Structure 1
């Protein structure tokens, strides 16, 4: 929807103030000490009806009907006719009403159709009004188009973000249900605990994550619950370290933005390991910058390509795109695979 910027949100007040300013400016420009300011103010007041006619007919009739449709010849002819009609009206007002009322003893009657005076009124008095209102409408039209363009871009980004966020839910649920399935096959007593944790995770995803931003504390709690689920699932020795430091209170972040990196650490760095494995997660906020570092062990035959975002799983491709949309120019992300170690290093400027 196009925005209008009116003084005190009043279109009428804005237009009235414009014409008051128009009167004052023209009076100041034309005033001479010999006749005084009042004389020229009254003269401008007498010419106001013609100026108002030219301004509004140009803006609301000629501009949309001819200029906006690129019928420039028709606009030019119509504009000249409008100036002529306005100048004639101005002559009528001046000769029949203004001078007889305000200067009955110092003026003499002239014919309305004095061509010199009519052309002078067209060129000197009304042409600036026509040109000014034309410029105003051109700028207004450009601004309106920019607004529409920005709104289309914004709607497209929102639709893409909603799609990406919606993808997180089934992807995360699929992984967690796999965990629960493996426990139920083993008739593990940990299965009820998994169901309880899963209930908390689903509540977060279905309700809290609807907001554009959530408290960082909630995202951290979500990660802790996920880690607890993974610990229950894996029977082999699993060393998980989760450290939080810095000023994390009252900070906000886009929901479900960090969990894909943690999921990735377990999926690619833990699920295929047979030796003692480890995952380290460090979350820190310092000077309005959120730093998240996720490291996990991996074997040399793990074919996971750390640096190739196109070949990464759905979760990583998703979060990389969300970071580009939500924090453009405000984040850095490094994926690095070394001997026995895979590292994700993310930094986000929370106050950008």
Structure 2
């Protein structure tokens, strides 16, 4: 009997310790879950406050309709490079998904917009020689909170990049296109696009035509006069566009 009682008490004590441990673990998880809920609530409030700043901007102003000829040119480029079709179609699919679903009347993070720009660049790369110099300089660390938390209007980067491929001298040996992403002074996002032009530099006020005017009108509507700047310059045959957007 003594042995049976000893086993019984050992089993009972072991079960009690196990239950106590389970209760402690559950209390710990419940506490952490509460903290996570509170952090998510604060992030949601912060995001809602940023969204409210743009309530005066109609959803259509946040959307940017691309010139359909852009996709015709992209498809022609894909068709002429059959060996790269799968890769290019995958990038084009990402671009279309971004336009159709991810940017439907809402703001996007800087990270999302940069990812879109990189896909767009890869599609347009097909129009150039494999030896053509395309430089992408992302000076933003993905661990930077601004990369995931700062929000901007979708397709804000498209026009300078599209114009670079449209107007660059793609034939010269020293031709290039450079695209740079960076933050400045904790308040601004900076996109700089540069390309070598041909021997007859384009006029600053005609480059991009009507599409450029629509693009600038949209930036002004979304960000206001104080919220952005877009400057163009030509220096030694190099055309430079610098877009600065004030971030929240």
TM-score scaled by structure 2?
0.67
Q: Distance in 2 between matches of 1:263 and 1:348?
A: 18
Higher relative contact order (CA 8 A, sep 6+): 2
Secondary structure of the corresponding residue to residue 82 of structure 2: coil
RMSD over aligned Cα atoms: 2.4
What is the deviation of 1:259? 1.6
**1:158 aligned residue:** 58
Query: Runs of 5+ in structure 2 lacking a partner?
Result: 1-54
What is the deviation of 1:196? 1.9
CA deviation profile, 1:234-275 (whole Å, cap 9, x unmatched): 22531111122244232211000112111111111145x343
**2:162 aligned residue:** 263
Structure 1 residue runs of 4+, over 4 Å off?
Answer: none
Secondary structure of the corresponding residue to residue 190 of structure 1: helix
**1:178 aligned residue:** 73
Query: Does structure 1 conserve the Cα–Cα contact (< 8 Å) formed by 2:233 and 2:240?
Result: yes
Say which of 280, 285, 297 aligns to 2:196: 297
**2:131 aligned residue:** 237
Larger Rg: 1
CA deviation profile, 1:30-76 (whole Å, cap 9, x unmatched): xxxxxxxxxxxxxxxxxxxxxxxxxxxxxxxxxxxxxxxxxxxxxxx
> 1:44-83 counterparts in 2 under 5 A?
none
Q: Distance in 1 between matches of 2:156 and 2:220?
A: 12
**1:349 aligned residue:** 246
Query: Does structure 1 conserve the Cα–Cα contact (< 8 Å) formed by 2:59 and 2:106?
Result: no
Query: Does structure 2 conserve the Cα–Cα contact (< 8 Å) formed by 1:213 and 1:255?
Result: yes
Q: Distance in 1 between matches of 2:230 and 2:152?
A: 16
Query: Runs of 5+ in structure 1 lacking a partner?
Result: 1-153
CA deviation profile, 1:191-244 (whole Å, cap 9, x unmatched): 232222111110000011113310111110011111111223322531111122
**2:233 aligned residue:** 336
Q: Does 1:253 align with 2:152?
A: yes
Does the C-alpha gap of structure 1 residues 327 and 195 become closer, same or farther in structure 2, counting only changes over 3 Å? same
Q: Distance in 1 between matches of 2:245 and 2:78?
A: 37
**1:321 aligned residue:** 217
**1:198 aligned residue:** 92
Structure with the higher strand share, 1 or 2: 2
Does the C-alpha gap of structure 1 residues 321 and 301 become closer, same or farther in structure 2, counting only changes over 3 Å? same
TM-score scaled by structure 1?
0.48
